[in-house]
Amino acid sequence: MASNATIAKLEMDELDQHVKSRSHWQRAMHQLSHDYLTILALGVVILLTVLAIFAPQISNYVTGYRFDQENLSQTFSPPSYEHPLGTDEQGRDHLTRLIWGGQVSLGIAFFASILSLTIGVSFGLVTGYYGGIVDDVMMWFITTLNSIPGLFLLLIISSVLGPSPVNLILVLGFLGWTGTMRLVRGETFTLREREFIVAARAMGASDFRIMASHILPNIISIVIITLAIDIGVLILVESGLSFLGFGIPAFIPSWGNMLTNAQAYFQRAPHLVIMPGVLITVTVLCLYVIGDGLRDAFDPTVND
């Protein structure tokens, strides 16, 4: 039972906040700065990103191997001083390849999700704002696309285009936007009827202006949350495709295609199977946690 004094204090706090009147972003940042789990996850992702960006320097000065430097006299060697994580079936340094693999996996997921977000947000805004026939055609297209198992389409199209990092970014980007589009469409749908939009229209704002400077700022927090989770999902998808041999060509290491021949390693070097998967899991987990943390921070109405 809360005493009167506590209630009074709570009311004072409320008043206090009212006077300061934080903006939406300030409140979100304040909330985030107290969310230690999200900060930890953010730290891990930043660390991995830095490692990925500086992969060439690291492999030159720290590990001392190139990612394609073979040494056929030292295949499947267990972890040792020269090779902290051992070597693979062609005697290549596993640690170096993991760092380079991070560059490929993170880079592809990042650029592909930027692409898919751009498409998803634009289409979502347009269909949600105009509705009618535009919406009907778009929804038909999306229902069609979604009724084919996504992995099948990814497999087919990336095999037709041939494996390359750029193709993979395009394929993942152009096939992955439907979820975002539905989300943005729904939000736009409800925002479109709000007074401030009607007011903007009454003042003669063009459709583009309404979408870009009135609706978009109101959904940008959803977009940021989706970005974090999307990157995570795309890392999983990319690794799955590369594992099957349809994503990244075999000579470029990615966390997925380093596992392509994993079943052949079971006997001789189980350690080769463990690390790429652990890295994928940790990265995706951190991105999900960041997405959750951002949602808590930006969307105070959602409480589990």
Partner 1 sequence: MTRHIIRRLLQAIPTLIGVTLLSYMIMSFAPGGPLSFLGIANPQETSAETVAALEVKFGLSDPWYIQYGRWLVGTDILFQLPQDETAVEEAAPTTNASSARTSNSIQGCSVLATQRQGILRGDFGCSFKWRRPVIDLIAERLPATMELGVATLFVALFLGVPIGLLAAISRGSIFDNFTRIFAVVGNAVPAFWMGLMLLLIFAFTLDILPSGGRCERMRVRLEDGSSGGCADVVPIYNRLEYLILPVFVLSLGGIAGYSRYMRTSMLDTINSDYVRTARAKGLSARSVWLNHAARNALIPLATFLGPALVGVIGGAAITETIFSWPGLGRLIVEAVTNRDYPVIMASVIISALLTVVAYIISDILYALFDPRIRF
Helix residue ranges per DSSP H, the chain? 4-20, 24-33, 36-53, 55-57, 94-130, 132-147, 150-161, 165-175, 178-191, 195-202, 207-209, 216-244, 262-265, 271-298
- Quote the tokens at residue 24: 């939406």
- Distance (Å, rounded) from C-alpha 102 to C-alpha 280? 9
DSSP annotation string for 194-245: SHHHHHHHHTT--HHHIIIIIIHHHHHHHHHHHHHHHHHHHHHHHHHHHHHT
* Of residues 210 and 289, the one with the C-beta less far from partner 1: 289
Q: Which amino acid belongs to residue 68?
A: D
DSSP annotation string for 100-115: HHHHHHHHHHHHHHHH
Stretch near partner 1 under the rule CB under 8 A, chosen from 69-77, 78-86, 212-220, 283-291: 283-291
Q: Which of 65, 110, 177, 246 binds partner 1 (CB under 8 A)?
A: 246
Q: Which 256-275 positions form the footprint of partner 1 (CB under 8 A)?
A: 256, 259, 262-263, 266-267, 270, 273-274
Shortest distance in whole angstroms from residue 142 CB to partner 1: 10
Stretch near partner 1 under the rule CB under 8 A, chosen from 43-51, 171-179, 190-198, 281-289: 281-289
Q: Is residue 261 helix, strand or coil?
A: coil
Based on the shown chain and the rule CB under 8 A, indicate whether residue 280 belongs to the binding site for partner 1. yes
Shortest distance in whole angstroms from residue 275 CB to partner 1: 10
Shortest distance in whole angstroms from residue 228 CB to partner 1: 13
Stretch near partner 1 under the rule CB under 8 A, chosen from 53-61, 83-91, 109-117, 231-239: 231-239
* Of residues 67 and 246, the one with the C-beta less far from partner 1: 246
Shortest distance in whole angstroms from residue 151 CB to partner 1: 4
* Of residues 19 and 160, the one with the C-beta less far from partner 1: 160
Nearest residue to 120 (alpha-carbon basis) of 248, 44, 219, 232: 219
* Of residues 181 and 197, the one with the C-beta less far from partner 1: 181
- Distance (Å, rounded) from C-alpha 244 to C-alpha 136? 36
Q: Which 149-168 positions form the footprint of partner 1 (CB under 8 A)?
A: 149-153, 155-157, 159-160
| 87 bridge partner residues | 93
Are the C-beta atoms of residues 213 and 229 closer than 8 Å to each other? no
* Of residues 59 and 257, the one with the C-beta less far from partner 1: 257
Q: What does each C-alpha distance from 264 to 69, 88, 248, 254, 268 come to in angstroms?
A: 21, 11, 20, 18, 8
Shortest distance in whole angstroms from residue 84 CB to partner 1: 21
Please tell me the count of residues contacting partner 1 according to CB under 8 A.
Answer: 45
Binding mask 125-154 for partner 1 (x = CB under 8 A): ---------------xx-xxxxxxxxxxx-
Shortest distance in whole angstroms from residue 146 CB to partner 1: 8
CB count within 10 Å of CB 221 equals: 17
Shortest distance in whole angstroms from residue 291 CB to partner 1: 10
Query: CA geometry: angle at 113 spanning 108 and 115, to 5°?
Result: 100
Instruction: List residues binding partner 1 (CB under 8 A).
Output: 140-141, 143-153, 155-157, 159-160, 232, 236, 239-240, 243-246, 256, 259, 262-263, 266-267, 270, 273-274, 276-277, 280-281, 284-285, 288-289, 292, 304
